[in-house]
Structures are given as structure tokens and as C-alpha cells.
Amino acid sequence: MADEILVSICIPAYKRIDYLQRLLDSIQIQTFRNFEVIVTDDSPDDSVKNLCTRYYAQFTLLYFKNSSTLGTPENWNESIRRSSGAWIKLMHDDDWFVEENSLKYFVDLIDKNQSSSFIFCAYTNVYAESGLKKNIFPARHRLSMLEKNAAVLLAGNCIGPPSVVLHKKNTQLLYDARMKWLVDIDFYIRYLASTHAEYIDKSLVNIGISETQVTKNAFRNREVEIPEHFLLMEKTGTGILKNITIFDAWWRLIRNLKIKSIEEIRQSGYDGAVPQAIISMIRFQQSIPTSVLRIGVTSKMCMLICYLFAKKK
């Protein structure tokens, strides 16, 4: 039907109305207009609600106040559940569109390739404190690896944050509320298990980078990163460690978090089975001086030796 909504722009909001206003202003100027905006609000006050009222006459905006604080990423899921569009454009409240045709570029790709179900674009990191901007374009070899096995995202997220993605709605496939650090990578891997990603080689979304983000608190945090990495492995299977790129990602995780024993894995909050390859990796790193592991080239060579040994085992 002509009046069916094509795109739902889903915004899980929390207090930051200056950022949210910037996002809503960037939505207002979009040349493609067949969209709705869904705002699910985790805020303890009415600041987000009051801001949204200023946009009701500009475009279709549906505001929902969560009865209790859902947090990340369940508030993302709530926004998706509230949507009615065929496609989902999740936008964090501190991100915004680069230009007035940003959404149109995504939709044009849908029109060109009717089999598409997952689209992502290049983006620009904008650092709140300094105002510095950095364009992020995925390396071609990363895109090639992504096409073959989405699990390589664990070694480097060449897709980027959820705000750069447009995907078909699937309420059976939502973000895992048990995760914070790997939540987007986990979602991408599961979604791309039955389809492939289309890439737009143009920066269409600005990503706000600040110290208040959840990922800042999760970075190099054993209690967050260790359980989530093992949870992801439980979903993908230990066979992914046969991929040297993924093996290297685990090698760097163990090295960067300075894990020296299985007991430290347990202390980090994971009590499940630890694959033999990971045990070998920990023991191998135990035998190498920390000063050596800090040297990138040397660490890579040690990883390769460990990988070949584990592969034989």
C-alpha cells in the first residue's frame, strides 16, 4: 500500500536533549520522507518528551516513556518493537545524519537491489571534547573477509556502530540484553548468518564520541569483555578459532587484559567451559615476557606459532 512506512528511525533516548535535538534536526531535513521516528525514553524526567513535542508537526514522531529504565541495549530493542516500518534505522541519540540525502542513499540501494536486507555505510567520528572529525572507511580486505564469514567482525568491526546500519525488521532477531561491549558485533553476526551485507562507500552518518558512552566504561574491563567474548563463542562455536584472524583477536584479548591463568577467567565472571585452544593461548603467553608481548611484530609472530601448535593439537 502507498501509505505503508518504509523506514522506522528508532531512537533509544536518555536525557541528552542537546544531542537528541541535533539528531532530530538532521532527520527533519532529509529529502526522503517515507519514514517514522520512534523515541523510547529511559530518562527520569520529561526533558526528552518536551523536546519531542516540538517536532510533531515536522514529521511522524511517536514518543514512548518506558515504565522502568531498560538500559543498553534493551531500550534499543524496545524502540524496534514499537516500530511499524519494513526497515529499521537504529540511531543513537548522540549520532546524526551527515547531510539531507543520507537516508536517500540507503533507500536508493534498496531500490537497486531488491534482495538487500542489511546495508551499512562509511561514517565520520566526531569527538565531542575536541571537535576533531575522522572519516572511517573499511579496508577492502576486511569487506572481503566479512563476505565470507561475519564472525571476523570479532577481529575488527568493519561495519561500525548500529547508527550506520539499515536492516529489514525482524522482531525475532534483536540485540542481546546480556551484552554491552560486543552487542552490535553479536547482532551483526547473527543477522548476517542468513544474508549478506551491502556497503555504501560514502560517509552518511556522524558518530558522536564522548567519555559518557557505555563502551568507554567497558573497554579493557575484564568483568565485561571476558564473559561477553565467551558468550559470543558459545553462539558461534569454538570452530571459529580455526580462523587465524579470529584466533589473533582472542590472542590480543588475552594479552591486553593480561590474563595469566584460568582462575583469572573465573574471577572475571565466566564459569563455563574454556576451549583447549584458549587454555593453550594463556599458557603460551605465560612463557613470554610482557615486554616482548608489547612489541606488535613479536607478539604477532608468537601468536602464529601458538596458532600452528593449537591447530595440530
Interhelix angle for 222-236 vs 244-256, to 10°?
160
Residue where a domain stops, chosen among 175, 190, 216: 216
Give the pLDDT of residue 216: 62
The answer to whether residue 1 sits within a structural domain is no
CA-CA distance, 90 to 94, in Å (whole number)? Answer: 12
Residue where a domain stops, chosen among 185, 201, 216: 216
Mean pLDDT of 190-215: 91
- The pTM of this model reads 0.94
The answer to whether residue 166 sits within a structural domain is yes
Residues spanned by the domain of 294? 220-312
Question: Looking at residue 172, which CATH number applies to its domain?
Answer: 3.90.550.10
CA-CA distance, 62 to 104, in Å (whole number)? Answer: 21
The answer to whether residue 1 scores a pLDDT higher than 90 is: no
Mean pLDDT of 50-74: 97
Interhelix angle for 222-236 vs 183-191, to 10°?
10
pLDDT digits (tens, 9 = 90+) for 206-241: 999 987 666 666 788 999 999 999 999 999 999 999
Mean pLDDT of 236-256: 96
Mean pLDDT of 143-147: 96
